[in-house]
């Protein structure tokens, strides 16, 4: 980046470079840990390498900086005065990437929850957000369990139906053989054809 950055932009750049240990992420991780949740960080096997995943609950959490991810209507997502086209393009690209990642994860059966940086400003607000997050995770886990058990039941039923059908077919064949016995002579002749 050859152009001059304002201190705020530079700060954003640096926090981006620092990468995974941004303050909001640390807060979310601590909040989850304190509530007894087990999670994985930046799982490379998943699309978009989500910040936090809870495999047991089928939940992926994106912890988004409001500026970088273009939080709509948020006061922390202000456009810089210098080089606005550059930032606009960059943020639009991030948003697009977020949407694609979310759709991809959902298609794989994950519930995606986004936590915004601004939701964690101030102790009380942060605690409330983390409490709500825990509830969202539990609900997602419940939905997933219901879905899985339903799938299991319907698979079991399908198997039973198939077995019943095969048994019935066998019965019918036996019945036909009993009712319309083919004389041995014809049987032998048809074999020689």
Residues of this chain that bind Zn ion (CB under 5 A): 66, 71, 74, 76, 116, 118
Kindly state the smallest distance separating residue 24's Cβ from Zn ion, in Å: 10
Which of 75, 179 has the CB closer to Zn ion?
Answer: 75
User: What is the nearest approach in angstroms of Zn ion to the Cβ of residue 149?
Assistant: 37
The number of helix segments (H) and strand segments (E) in the chain equals: 5, 4
Residue 51 — φ and ψ, nearest 5°? -55, -50
Q: Closest CB to Zn ion among 29 and 71?
A: 71
Query: Which residue lies nearer to Zn ion by CB, 118 or 126?
Result: 118
- The minimum distance between CB 76 and Zn ion, in angstroms, equals 5
Q: In what order do the strands lie in the sheet with 59-64?
A: 40-41, 52-54, 59-64, 111-116
Nearer to Zn ion, 24 or 58 (CB): 24
Q: Distance between CA atoms of 43 and 32, rounded to whole angstroms?
A: 17
């Amino acid at each position: 980046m050859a152009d001059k950055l304002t201190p705020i932009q530079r700060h954003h750049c640096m926090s981006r470079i620092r990468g995974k240990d941004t303050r909001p992420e640390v807060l979310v991780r601590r909040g989850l840990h304190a509530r007894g949740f087990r999670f994985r960080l930046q799982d490379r096997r998943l699309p978009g390498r989500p910040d936090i995943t809870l495999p047991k609950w089928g939940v992926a959490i994106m912890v988004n900086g409001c500026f970088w991810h273009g939080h709509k209507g948020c006061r922390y997502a202000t456009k810089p005065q210098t080089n606005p086209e550059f930032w606009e393009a960059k943020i639009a690209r991030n948003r697009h990437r977020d949407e694609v990642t979310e759709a991809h994860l959902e298609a794989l059966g994950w519930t995606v929850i986004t936590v915004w940086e601004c939701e964690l400003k101030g102790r009380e607000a942060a605690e409330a957000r983390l409490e709500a997050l825990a509830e969202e995770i539990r609900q997602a886990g419940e939905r997933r369990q219901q879905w899985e058990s339903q799938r299991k039941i319907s698979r079991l039923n399908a198997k039973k139906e198939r077995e019943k059908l095969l048994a019935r077919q066998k019965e019918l064949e036996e019945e036909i053989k009993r009712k319309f016995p083919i004389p041995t002579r014809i049987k032998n002749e048809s074999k020689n054809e």
